[in-house]
Each structure stands twice: as C-alpha cells, then as structure tokens.
Amino acid sequence: MFILKGLVFDLHRHNIDHITIPSSRGPEYGVLRRVDDVFDCWFESGSMPYAYIHYPFENVELFEKNFPGHFVAEGLDQTRGWFYTLMVLATALFGKPAFRNLICNGLVLAEDGKKMSKSLKNYPSPMEVINDYGADALRLYLINSPVVRAETLRFKKEGVYGVVRDVFLPWYNAYRFLVQNAKRLEVEGLAPFVPIDHVTLQKSSNVLDQWINSATQSLVIFVRKEMDGYRLYTVVPYLLKFLDNLTNIYVRFNRKRLKGRTGEDCRTALSTLYNVLLLSCKVMAPFTPFFTEVLYQNMRKVCNGSEESIHYCSFPQEEGKGGERIEQSVSRMMTIIDLARNIRERHNKPLKTPLREMVIVHPDADFLEDIAGKLREYVLEELNIRSLVTCNDTLKYSSLRAEPDFSVLGKRLGKSMGVVAKEIKALSQENILAFESAGEVIIANHCLKLTDIKVLRDFKRPDGMTEKEIDAAGDGDVLVILDLRPDESLFEAGAAREIVNRIQKLRKKVALEPTDMVEVYFESLDEDKSVSQRVLHSQESYIGGAIGSPLLLHSMMPPHAVVLGEEKFHGISGMSFGITLARPALMFNSKAILALFSGEAKFGHNLQTYLLSRDHSNLKSEFQERNGKKIVDSIENQPAVEVVLGEHVFLTVGAPLSSCQ
C-alpha cells in the first residue's frame, strides 16, 4: 500500500502493470500482480442461478431440479447486462437459457418525455400520488401501461386518477350496494344476511345470476391463463369489462331483486353478488392487495371459517364449464339495448317516455328465443317498451347488400381486387343469404369467408310510415326497429316515471342513503287536478314499487311529521306538483286507543304523547322483539295497557293504507 500511495498516482492499467506486492503469507508464495484478464462484473450476476447455491460443489440435485428459473425480471437497460450474461453463461455451460420467461420493463419518463430529474422537478412525488390515489391505483396504472411491455411510459398523475375512476369506484359501488341492502334486511326486521352456499347459488333459475356466475368463472380462467403466460398487461382491460358488466348489467338490471322488491329471491341475488365480489377480490388480490383486503375484511364477517386475510386464501380454481351460450346471449341483449337507445336519442325520446313496440330481426332462432324468453323482461324494462316482437325473416324489414372488406382482401388479392369487389357488390339478396348460411362463397376463383365480406342491412320502412313514426338501427346481423308513434294510453306510465325520477333526485339532494326509510308526499299544484289524480290512481303499484313505499297525498301529512326536504316541479308531463320527504311518522287509531281506557280521552292523549316522544327506530325494534305488542306501564297515574301494532298504532302514515288493501 505504501508503494501504491508513494510511487503511483495514475491507477490506469499501463501505469500499474509492473507493480508487484509481496504475499502476506510468506516469500514462498511469491508476489501478487494484476491479472491480465478481468471479467465484466455483470458475469458475477449472470452466474447467479448456480453460484448462489455453490453449484457444482454443492446442491447438485437442488440446482438440476430448479434450473432454468421460472422467470427473471429487470429493466430494458439490462438487455446488454444481466439478461445477456445470464443467456451467454447458461448457453455455454448447459446448452439452454437460464430462464423460462422474461419480464422486461421499459423506462418511466416524465410527462414531457424527458428523463425524470430531481433538479428539474418534472415529476410528482411518489408519496403524493399514493396519498392522493392509493398504492393500488398506482400499481394498476403501471401494470396497464406500455412499461410492462418493455416500452417507455410518460408518467401522468391524471392516468392514476383514471384508474380510480374506471376501476375502483365502480368496484366499490357494487360492494357498497351489497352492504347497504344487506343492512336493510336488519333495518326492516328481517333475518340478518348470511350468504347462501355456493352449490345452491349455481342452481339459481335467474338468467342474470347464471350469467354473472359464468362471467366470474371466465374472469378466474382468464387471469390464471394470462398469469401463467406472464402477461400482466392483459388483466386490467379484462377487469374493466368485467366490472362494467357487474355494475351496469347485473346490479342495474337486478335492483328490484337486490332491494327486496321481489320477496325472498332477494337473498339469492344478494348472495350471488356477495359471491361474485368475493371471487373477484381473490382473483385481483395480487394486483390490488390493499383494496381487496379492505373489502374482504368486511365480507368475511358473515362467512364462518374464512381465512383471516385475503392473502391467506388460495387463488380461485375453475369450477365446471363456463356458460358461453348465456354470456353470448346477454352480450347480444346489450347490443340490442344500445341500438334502441341510439334510436331514442336520435329522435329525442328519453327512456322515461314509454314506447309501444320494438321488433328484433335476426336469422338465428336460438338468439331470438333467448331475447323473447328469459331476457325479455330485462329488455322491456330497461328500454321502457310495452311489447317485444321477434322476426327471423331478415328480408321482411330490411334489404341486404354486400361490401368487400378492403382491409382484409386488399393485400391478399392484389390486382384481382377490382374484379372481386365488383362481383361482391353485385350479389343478390338470395346469394347473400346463401353465403351467410354456408360461411363461404367462390368469386372469381377466390374462396371468400365471412370475415372477407361485410353484409349490410338497410332498413325497409313499411309503406305509409315516416321516419318520425318508425325507425331502425342495426349492427351486423341484428336489426332493431322501434315504433315511435305517440300513444295516449302510455302517457300515464311516462308521467309516473317522471314523478319517480324527481323523487329519487330529491332523495339524493338531501343526502339520503338507500337504507333510509322516508315517507313521500305528493301535492298537485294544478288548478285541474284530474290529470295527476288519474296518473296516481292508474300507476299506484308502479310508483309504490319504485320508491319502496306508498305515495301519499300531502293532505295526509300529520303535524308532527319531520320534513327532510321538499321541492316544487313545473311542466313535467303537463303537470305541476310538489314533493315532500319526511321521516316515518306514527299514526293512531283513536277509537281503538279510547277503548283501551274505557273511553277516558285524557289517558288516550297521554299514551299518544308518550309514544310520539319515543325514538322511532327504538320503538320499532321493541314492537318487533315482542311480536308486534308492547306493554306501556310507565305513564304516571295511568293504568298499564298492551298496545298492539296495526291495531292501536301504526309506524308510518302509509301503514293504515297498506293494511286496508
């Protein structure tokens, strides 16, 4: 060391090659000098698969059992470093690669495309992003970006927010909807929610239960397959589609069942939603470990014998065959609904306006059977249409024409494209139908498949009808036709939807939860009240079912009612009216109460005052615990009496009306 410090100031090779150092072990060991050949330090890292277990001097069996490794993961900048030396050494020593799969990430750049720099401060603080949107959102953003495909990523904080908006909010809303309606069972005095066992759920006769169960199994199969192939980037798009189906089809179309408006079937729907959310959390736990753990910790409370953490659970296994047929049918149903919505928007016919009839034209009898059968009620309710007609005669409502798919045929046919295109366009309707049936056709000595030719269906409007009276929209082989003619008989149904819509908006305005029970009062502001009276009478069942309680006249609101919100509306389906939301209020049968005290009015008045002073929810619980009866013996200087719910007192203003029906 003295020699190096004292004599050598330039440590480059040509200045130190001549230096020797006596061995500290003694003169018999000679001197130490620089070795001529020095490997790049990456060769040490490249030797990792065997060097870390001291192969071949030890652990021979362990090495041979586990080599090559399942995967390696590193950045693109290591293509000429670690990846290279791993490959070179393994090939030289063993004649095969050191790894079976390679995960190579690209570089994360600043939003402006430059390298992230502390001095330039051209990127947000990682902790700021995590604090604002969560580590799971950041993780999914990166997994769903080009960076996992060895490409560069321009990091944008807004992209992380997009993951929150598109993934976590819909996912959480479905979970919250489950929790709210499970809690509602207890609020209404029913048995607490306990999910039905998985085997029983698989036997549900409801078509959307079957569909979402099948879709969940498809999610399990897809994610397992993609992870086996180390394709991280395919999972998030599939999850997005799954969550969209869960929230915008299953939950949306099953609101009545999930809210208990269809009886005991509610528990089947809630259990199905519970099972789907639980499975989706288990599938996505490796990708979103924190979010799924939060949901799991609450859901496990109603399931005995569950693991303490979702990360102790095994990844779900494939269970039986998927329902490809039902998944395809529901997908087609959504296509029909989207086409019908497009027609409505084109003619300014909102969904609250009922229409008389819809015709669905499709050559596949099985498809039409699905739509007109088990999916019929969902189509009619979602589109607010009274009648659905199916037709497999495609020429009855449309004319067919064929167009070549130039993007497919251009490169393949070359100079022959012009001749082939001309003959395709000249195909008769009968020839087009035959082509669709056979799946192929010979044109100018070329065999063309269904993917080579676009079959277009042009709507053939019935004689004497205008575009404003009937219109259509098509997508591929399906044509949707709507009868747009106004129908006075549908006016009352449309007006009822408008009333329900204003009630629901007022509930949101006063920040009510779905489980919050309120009474709804209606007051006509028109001089001629006959229109609103006719609507309320004819649509009583629909309105009551939609809002979960009878719609009461404003004149029925007792003076002790607590008003939560009120609003007036004008020009709604030709009506002006006011809506008032109030807490449930007690109603009394004065004659029955007087009979309890042999006609002593003072005692009856004291009893009513006492009951009104009690907390409504506590009073309801006391009646429920005692089978609708309660002993009142705490009023001073007054005899004890047994008060019977539904005979002496009612918990809501609407209850006496319901008991009379």
DSSP 191: P
Residue 482: CB partners within 8 Å, gap ≥ 6? 340, 343, 344, 355, 357, 358, 385, 470, 471, 472
Would you state the structure tokens that stand for residue 635, as one six-digit string? 């009023």
391 belongs to a structural domain = yes
- Pairing type for strands 99-105 and 69-75 reads parallel
455 and 504 housed in the same domain = no
pLDDT level of residue 658 (50, 70, 90 thresholds): low
DSSP per-residue letters across 444-482: TTEEEETTTEEEEEEE-PPTT--TTTEEEEEETTEEEEE
Q: Which residues contact 654 (CB under 8 A, 6 or more apart)?
A: 519, 549, 550, 552
The answer to whether residues 512 and 545 belong to one domain is: yes
For 94-97, which contacts have Cβ atoms below 8 Å and span 24 or more sequence positions? 94/67, 96/68, 97/68
Judge if 598 and 636 occupy the same domain.
Answer: yes
CB 296 within 8 A of CB 310: yes
Which pTM was predicted? 0.77
Place of tokens 């993917």: 451
449 burial level (CB within 10 Å; 0-12, 13-18, 19+): exposed
Residue 172 and residue 273 in one domain: yes
Exposure string for 465-475, b = 16+ CB within 10 A, e = fewer: eeeeebbbbbe
* H-run or E-run covering 103: strand 99-105
Same domain membership, residue 301 and residue 283? yes
Question: For the chain, give me the number of helices (H) and strands (E)?
Answer: 31, 22
Three-class DSSP category at 634: coil
CATH number (domain holding residue 426) = 3.30.720
The answer on pLDDT for 91 being more than 90 is yes
Report the pLDDT value the prediction gives residue 322, as an integer from 0 to 100.
Answer: 60
Strands 470-475 and 478-483: antiparallel
Q: Do residue 183 and residue 292 come from a single domain?
A: yes
Give yes or no for residue 41 having a pLDDT over 80. Answer: no
The pLDDT value given to residue 263: 67
Compute the average pLDDT of residues 82-109: 89
Tens-place pLDDT, residues 460-485: 888 888 888 899 988 877 889 999 98
pLDDT digit string, tens, across residues 629-645: 989 888 888 889 899 99
Within this chain, do residues 52 and 73 fall inside the same structural domain, yes or no?
yes
**What pLDDT was estimated at residue 5?**
44
Entry field: residues in the chain? 661
Question: Which of 376, 395, 414 finishes a domain?
Answer: 395
Question: Based on the domain organization, do 383 and 408 belong to the same domain?
Answer: no
**What is the average per-residue pLDDT within 161-179?**
92
Give the residue among 615, 617, 616, 595 at the shortest CA–CA distance from 604: 595
With cut-offs at 50, 70 and 90, classify the pLDDT of residue 161: very high
Q: Domain for residue 293, yes or no?
A: yes
Beta-sheet pairing, 446-449 with 440-443: antiparallel
What is the chain's mean pLDDT, rounded?
87
Average of per-residue pLDDT across 600-616: 89
**Mean pLDDT within 594-616:** 89
Cβ–Cβ under 8 Å, residues 141 and 160: yes
Phi-psi category of residue 613: left, alpha or beta, with phi > 0 → left and psi -120 to 50 → alpha: alpha
Is residue 30 one of the residues assigned to a domain?
Answer: no
Tokens encoding 414: 């070359």
Residue at which a domain ends, from 297, 322, 347: 322
Domain co-membership, 314 together with 337: no
Does residue 514 belong to any structural domain of this protein?
A: yes
Q: Please provide residue 94's backbone torsions phi and psi, each rounded to the nearest 5 degrees.
A: -125, -5
Asked whether residue 172 falls in the same domain as residue 245, the answer is: yes
Please check whether residue 511 is in contact with residue 500, taking contact to mean a CB–CB distance below 8 angstroms: no
pLDDT score of 7: 62
Residue 24 scores a pLDDT above 80: yes
| Residue in this structure with the two tokens 């495909």, named with its chain if needed | 149
When pLDDT is cut at 50, 70 and 90, the band that residue 1 belongs to is: very low
Distance of CA 58 to the CA centre of its chain: 53
In this predicted structure, the answer to whether residue 294 has a pLDDT above a threshold of 60 is yes
Q: Are residues 381 and 429 in the same domain?
A: no
Q: Measured between alpha carbons, how far is 148 from 231 in angstroms, rounded to an integer?
A: 9
Structural domain includes residue 301: yes
Q: How many domains does the chain have?
A: 6
Q: Are 549 and 500 in contact (CB under 8 A)?
A: no
The predicted structure's pLDDT at residue 112: 84
Q: How confident is the model at residue 659 (pLDDT cuts 50, 70, 90)?
A: low
The confidence score (pLDDT) of residue 318 equals 79
- pLDDT-wise least confident of 96-105, 185-194, 341-350, 610-619: 185-194
Domain match, 559 and 597 both? no
For residue 72, the model assigns a pLDDT of 87
Q: With respect to residue 183, please indicate whether it lies within any of the assigned structural domains.
A: yes
Domain final residue pick, 412, 437, 459 = 459
Task: Give residue 278's pLDDT.
Answer: 94
Residue 137 in domain: no
Which residues span the domain enclosing 220? Answer: 157-322
pLDDT at 413 over 90: no
Percent of the chain past pLDDT 70, that is, above it, reads 97
Residue 182 in domain: yes
